[in-house]
Amino acid sequence: MRDKPTHHGVSHAEVDAETAGQRLDNYLLGRLKGVPRSLVYRLIRSGQVRVNSGRVRARYRLKAGDTVRVPPVRRRVLAAVADPGTGLGWLEARIVHEDERLIVVDKPAGLAVHGGSGIDFGLIEALRSLRPAARGLELVHRLDRGTSGCVMVAKRRSALRRLHALLREGAVDKRYLALVRGPWRHGEIEIDAPLTVGRAGAAAKVRIDAGGKPALSRFRLVAHYGPEASLVEVRIPTGRTHQIRVHAAAAGHPVAGDERYGDPELNARLETLGLKRMFLHAERIAFEWPDNGEALEVSAPLAAELGDLLDRLS
């Protein structure tokens, strides 16, 4: 992407082959670091952002050779995710892998992966501010706000396309750790139950539905913690919204700390033991790059508060 500065702060950027195929809104969110998502969409709707001198929708996919008009905008400070004392130093410390194509971040629970729905900034906006020279940063997949652990962020469009293809093929080994209600007596099981996303007020509410999207979860017992809870490992070849949480609840073992699909009595009990969040953690990601066969395996340890809870339950 080559910039051509003009008067009054407006710039015109020419789309190159690496950027081609990216949605206009995602391109602008990466370029206008520190600008709220809502403002980006307002700039597009008002016609201040144009492609080849014409108005386009936010979902327009850029083509090689397109010229994007980018107006001057005032950036906002990332106060929502920056620590006043260390800025974004905490985020640098949570990068568990980085190479020329990919960043893997150990996302903390409570941080959204992106802005939206009343949230100006999330992980991707913070990471773009931390790596201003990396203009092509894009989320490869998502984690619920309450889930911690490994999140992949592509540094190039070519890497994003390859990783999306691997995810569609179920070729990415994603493993989670979850504390669930009661003694797990199913052994190793597969739950193959399609899911549909509905709404419960302003929030998403997912349910099992024969007409929904395919969703497969593989559960394996890791450890019993008395009659109260069990730690399980979950592998998900698919990645639907709230998939593990809904499938675990359907098996009779809702995830501890889950306020939407969980057990209020269990949640209240574990809160007295220090659980202030949902006990769901994306522990491991592994795959092979399809172009050269290079294997990558990245893991993120359980957060200290989760490990402390397990010690208390023991």
| Mean pLDDT calculated for residue range 166-177 | 95
Q: Where are the alpha helices (DSSP H) in the chain?
A: 24-31, 37-45, 89-93, 123-130, 157-168, 243-250, 264-272, 304-313
Say yes or no: 176 and 217 in one domain.
Answer: yes
Say yes or no: 198 and 245 in one domain.
Answer: yes
pLDDT digits (tens, 9 = 90+) for 262-285: 999 999 999 999 999 999 999 999
Is the confidence at residue 2, as pLDDT, over 60?
no
CA–CA distance from 144 to each of 65, 112, 122, 147, 242 (Å)?
36, 7, 12, 5, 7
Is the confidence at residue 199, as pLDDT, over 80?
no
The CATH number of whichever domain residue 139 belongs to comes to: 3.30.2350.10
Provide the number of structural domains found in the chain.
3
Say yes or no: 285 and 176 in one domain.
Answer: yes
Q: Which pLDDT score, from 0 to 100, does residue 129 have?
A: 86
In this prediction the pTM is 0.78
Domain final residue, candidates 163, 191, 211: 163
Q: Which pLDDT score, from 0 to 100, does residue 105 have?
A: 97
Residue spans of beta strands (DSSP E) within the chain: 2-5, 11-14, 50-51, 67-70, 95-98, 102-107, 138-139, 148-154, 173-181, 189-192, 195-200, 203-208, 216-225, 229-235, 280-288, 295-299
Separation between Cα atoms, residue 45 and residue 125, nearest integer Å: 21
Say yes or no: 150 and 175 in one domain.
Answer: no
Domain final residue, candidates 131, 163, 195: 163
Domain final residue, candidates 145, 163, 181: 163
**Active site annotation includes 173:** no
* 82 lies in some domain: no
Q: Which two tokens stand for residue 138?
A: 């894009």
Separation between Cα atoms, residue 300 and residue 140, nearest integer Å: 17
Say yes or no: 182 and 154 in one domain.
Answer: no
Say yes or no: 178 and 234 in one domain.
Answer: yes
Is the confidence at residue 227, as pLDDT, over 50?
yes
* 259 lies in some domain: yes
The CATH number of whichever domain residue 66 belongs to comes to: 3.10.290.10
Say yes or no: 258 and 130 in one domain.
Answer: no
* 36 lies in some domain: yes
Average pLDDT, the chain: 89
290: region left, alpha or beta (phi > 0 left; psi from -120 to 50 alpha): alpha
Say yes or no: 266 and 296 in one domain.
Answer: yes
* 33 lies in some domain: yes
- The closest alpha carbon to 112, from 78, 135, 136, belongs to 78
For the ranges 11-15, 35-39, 73-77, 147-151, the one whose mean pLDDT is highest: 147-151
pLDDT digits (tens, 9 = 90+) for 91-135: 999 999 999 999 999 999 999 998 765 566 789 988 988 888 888
Ranking 47-56, 74-83, 159-168, 213-222 by mean pLDDT, the lowest is 74-83
Say yes or no: 8 and 58 in one domain.
Answer: yes
Is the confidence at residue 11, as pLDDT, over 90?
no
93 half-sphere exposure, CB direction, 13 A CA radius: 7
* Segments forming the whole domain that contains residue 10: 2-70
pLDDT digits (tens, 9 = 90+) for 285-312: 999 999 899 999 999 999 999 999 999 9
Q: Which pLDDT score, from 0 to 100, does residue 217 have?
A: 97
Say yes or no: 213 and 245 in one domain.
Answer: yes
Q: Which pLDDT score, from 0 to 100, does residue 5 have?
A: 43
Separation between Cα atoms, residue 270 and residue 255, nearest integer Å: 12
Say yes or no: 190 and 100 in one domain.
Answer: no
For residues 218 and 175, is the Cβ–Cβ distance under 8 A?
Answer: no
Q: Which pLDDT score, from 0 to 100, does residue 120 have?
A: 63
Exactly one of 120, 144, 258, 263 is catalytic; name it.
144
Say yes or no: 131 and 204 in one domain.
Answer: no
